[in-house]
C-alpha cells in the first residue's frame, strides 16, 4: 500500500520498530543529560523559534525552528543533519511544556499538518495546557527529504506490474528503488529506521527544554512512540498511542492484517452505500462486480481525463483504499466508482490515487512520503522464512483478500532481495513505564484492532480505549467518549480504566 495519515487517511503497509536501552533526563540546575556522553552537545542545544521557511505550510500562529542531530549515531562527532520542527505560537494558561505529535505514514510530514490536526483533534483544554509541537523525522517532509525515484519512475511504479512474472517484476522494482535511495543520499538512506527516529525525537525533546516527552502518535506514530518508550523509559511523560502498529509483528503478519482490514472495509462500504448505477444494490453481487471490474483493468486499463494515464488495477485499488480510511468519504468513493463503472471513466479514482501519493496535476510529486514509507519499512523489517513459505503465505493472503489480489503478498521476499538492509531486528521490550493510553478502532482498515490488544498486553501499565468505528484512528474528534478519556489523562493526569468502550458520536 501507499501512505496514508490519520487526518487525510492514514498509515500503511509494513510498519515496525526495535531496540531497548536507557534514556537521558535532566540534571539538577536544568541541564539536559544525554544517554551517551558523546551526544551531550546535541542535548544542550536550544531551538530558536522564528518565522517558518517558505516551503513549510505556514499559519499566523505557527513558528518554526531546527534541531541538529548526528547523521550516524555510531559516529556522533561526524556529520550532522537538521530536523524541521514547528510549534503553535500561543501561551497556554497552564503551561505543561510541549505536546509532541506524529501523524503517521511512515513518511507523513508533521509540520505541514500541525495546524489542521491541532484544530481537528485537540480541544481547548489541551491547547490551554500544552504547546503542540511537530517535527519531521529525518528524510521526511522538510527534514532533508530523501528522493529515491524520479517523478516519471514513480508514475511507472504506481501503474503496477505489467508482466507475467510477479516476482521478477517485484525484484526489479525493489532494486531500482533502493539503488536510487543509495545513489541520491547513501548515508541518510541507511539511517532512516524507526529506532534512529526515536533517538532523534529524544534530542528534540531536550532541545525544546522538556524533561519528559508528552506525545500523541497516530498510526505509524504509535509504533514510533512505542519504540521511544522502549529506548527511553525514564523520559516518557504522558503518552497516547492511537491506530496501533504492533512493533513486534512480522512483515507478513502486518501485510495480512492490513489486507484483511481493507477487504472487510470494502464489504462494509458496499453494505453501507446504495448504488443507483454501476454496482448492484445487493452487497454480495456488488462485491463480485467490483472484483470483476478490477480484474478487467489488468487487460484493459480504463480511460481517464489524462490521455497518457489510463486507470490500471494498481491505481484503481489505490484510489479505492484511500477513500476507505474514513466513513465520511464513502459517498465520494461511491461517486468515483459509479463514474468508472457506469460511464467507463476512471478520472475520479485516478485523482484520489494521485492525491494519496502527493502527485499534482502537472505530474510533480510535491512531497516525498511515497519514497520515505518504502525506505523506512525496508529498514525496519527483516525477511523471515523462505520461498516455499512465501508462496504459501501469498496464496493464503490472496484467498482472504480477493479484491486486492497480490497487493499484500511477498513482503518478506521483497525484503530479501533488497540491496539495502536495515539493522538487525530485535524484539521490542518494555521496562518499567508510566501509564500509557492506547486507542484502537474495532474495524480500523489500516491498523487492525488486534494490534491494539497485543500492545496493551505488552504494556501492563496501560489503558485500552476501544472505539466501535470503521475509521482509522479514534482520537480525532469523532468520539466524545474517546476525547474525554484521553484529555483527562493528558491535562489532569487522570488515568482511564484498564479497558474503556466508546462509540462514535
Per-residue pLDDT reduced to its tens digit, 81-123 = 999 999 998 777 777 899 999 999 999 999 999 988 888 889 9
Q: From the centroid of its chain, how far is CA 396?
A: 25
Instruction: Provide the pLDDT for residue 23.
Output: 40
Between CA 271 and CA 261 the distance in angstroms is: 15
For 181, phi then psi, to 5°, come to -60, -45
Whole-model pTM?
0.93
Query: Residue range 414-427: average pLDDT?
Result: 92
Instruction: Provide the pLDDT for residue 24.
Output: 44
Asked whether residue 3 carries a pLDDT value surpassing 50, the answer given is no
Instruction: Provide the pLDDT for residue 96.
Output: 87
Q: What percent of the chain has pLDDT over 70?
A: 94
Q: Which residues contact 385 (CB under 8 A, 6 or more apart)?
A: 252, 393, 412
Query: Residue range 473-490: average pLDDT?
Result: 97
More confident residue, 502 or 27: 502
Instruction: Provide the pLDDT for residue 393.
Output: 97
Would the CA dihedral through 202, 208, 211, 214 be positive or negative? negative
In this prediction, residue 14 has a pLDDT band, given cuts at 50, 70 and 90, of very low
Q: Which of 440, 443, 435, 431 is nearest to 488 (CA)?
A: 435
Instruction: Provide the pLDDT for residue 30.
Output: 57
Between CA 348 and CA 337 the distance in angstroms is: 8
Between CA 381 and CA 18 the distance in angstroms is: 9
Instruction: Provide the pLDDT for residue 57.
Output: 75
Asked whether residue 245 carries a pLDDT value surpassing 60, the answer given is yes
Between CA 324 and CA 470 the distance in angstroms is: 9
Instruction: Provide the pLDDT for residue 17.
Output: 26
Instruction: Provide the pLDDT for residue 8.
Output: 30
Between CA 153 and CA 183 the distance in angstroms is: 15
Scan for cell 497480490, then name that residue. 406
Q: How many CB atoms lie within 10 A of CB 118?
A: 21
Amino acid at each position: 500500500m501507499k501512505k496514508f495519515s490519520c487526518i487525510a487517511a492514514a498509515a500503511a503497509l509494513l510498519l515496525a520498530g526495535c531496540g531497548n536501552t536507557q534514556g537521558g533526563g535532566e540534571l539538577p540546575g536544568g541541564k539536559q543529560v544525554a544517554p551517551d556522553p558523546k551526544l551531550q552537545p546535541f542535548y544542550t542545544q536550544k531551538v530558536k523559534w522564528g518565522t517558518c521557511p517558505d516551503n513549510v505550510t505556514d499559519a499566523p500562529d505557527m513558528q518554526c525552528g531546527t534541531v541538529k542531530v548526528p547523521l550516524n549515531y555510531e559516529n556522533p562527532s561526524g556529520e550532522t543533519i537538521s530536523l524541521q520542527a514547528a510549534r503553535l505560537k500561543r501561551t497556554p494558561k497552564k503551561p505543561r511544556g510541549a505536546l509532541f505529535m506524529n501523524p503517521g505514514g511512515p513518511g507523513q510530514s508533521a509540520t505541514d499538518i500541525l495546524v489542521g490536526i491541532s484544530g481537528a483533534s485537540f480541544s481547548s483544554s489541551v491547547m490551554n495546557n500544552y504547546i503542540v509541537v511537530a517535527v519531521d523525522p529525518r528524510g521526511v517532509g522538510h527534514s532533508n527529504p530523501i528522493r529515491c525515484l524520479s517523478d516519471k519512475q514513480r508514475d511507472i511504479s504506481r501503474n503496477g506490474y505489467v508482466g507475467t512474472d510477479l516476482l521478477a517484476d517485484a525484484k526489479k522494482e525493489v532494486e531500482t528503488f533502493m539503488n536510487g535511495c543509495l545513489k541520491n543520499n547513501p548515508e541518510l538512506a541507511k539511517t532512516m529506521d524507526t529506532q534512529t527516529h526515536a533517538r532523534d525525537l529524544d534530542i528534540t525533546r531536550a532541545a525544546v527544554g522538556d524533561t519528559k516527552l508528552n506525545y500523541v502518535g497516530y498510526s505509524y506514530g504509535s509504533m514510533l512512540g512505542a519504540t521511544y518508550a522502549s529506548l527511553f523509559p525514564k523520559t516518557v511523560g504522558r503518552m497516547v498511542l492511537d491506530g496501533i502498529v504492533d512493533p513486534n509483528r512480522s512483515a507478513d503478519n502486518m501485510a495480512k492484517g492490513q489486507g484483511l482490514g481493507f477487504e472487510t472495509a470494502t464489504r462494509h462500504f458496499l453494505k453501507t452505500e446504495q448504488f443507483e448505477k454501476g454496482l448492484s444494490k445487493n452487497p454480495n453481487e456488488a462485491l463480485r462486480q467490483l472484483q470483476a471490474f478490477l480484474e478487467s483493468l489488468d487487460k484493459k486499463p480504463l480511460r481517464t481525463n489524462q490521455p497518457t494515464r489510463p486507470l490500471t488495477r494498481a491505481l484503481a485499488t489505490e484510489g479505492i483504499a484511500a477513500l476507505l480510511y474514513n466513513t465520511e468519504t464513502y459517498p465520494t468513493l461511491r461517486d468515483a466508482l459509479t463514474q468508472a463503472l457506469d460511464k467507463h471513466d476512471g478520472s475520479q479514482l485516478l485523482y484520489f490515487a494521485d492525491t494519496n501519493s502527493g502527485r499534482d496535476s502537472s505530474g510533480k510529486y510535491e512531497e516525498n512520503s511515497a519514497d520515505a514509507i518504502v525506505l523506512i519499512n525496508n529498514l525496519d523489517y527483516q525477511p523471515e522464512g523462505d520461498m516455499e513459505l512465501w508462496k504459501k503465505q501469498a496464496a493464503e493472503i490472496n484467498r482472504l483478500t480477493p479484491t486486492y489480489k497480490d497487493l499484500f503478498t511477498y513482503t518478506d521476499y521483497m525484503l530479501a532481495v533488497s540491496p539495502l538492509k536495515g539493522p538487525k531486528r530485535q524484539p521490542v521490550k518494555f521496562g518499567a513505564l508510566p501509564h500509557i493510553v492506547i486507542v484502537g478502532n474495532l474495524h480500523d482498515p489500516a491498523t487492525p484492532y488486534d494490534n491494539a490488544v497485543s500492545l496493551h498486553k505488552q504494556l501492563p501499565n496501560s489503558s485500552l480505549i476501544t472505539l466501535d468505528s470503521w475509521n482509522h484512528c479514534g482520537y480525532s474528534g469523532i468520539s466524545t467518549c474517546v476525547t474525554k478519556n484521553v484529555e483527562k489523562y493528558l491535562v489532569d493526569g487522570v488515568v482511564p480504566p484498564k479497558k474503556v468502550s466508546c462509540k462514535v458520536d
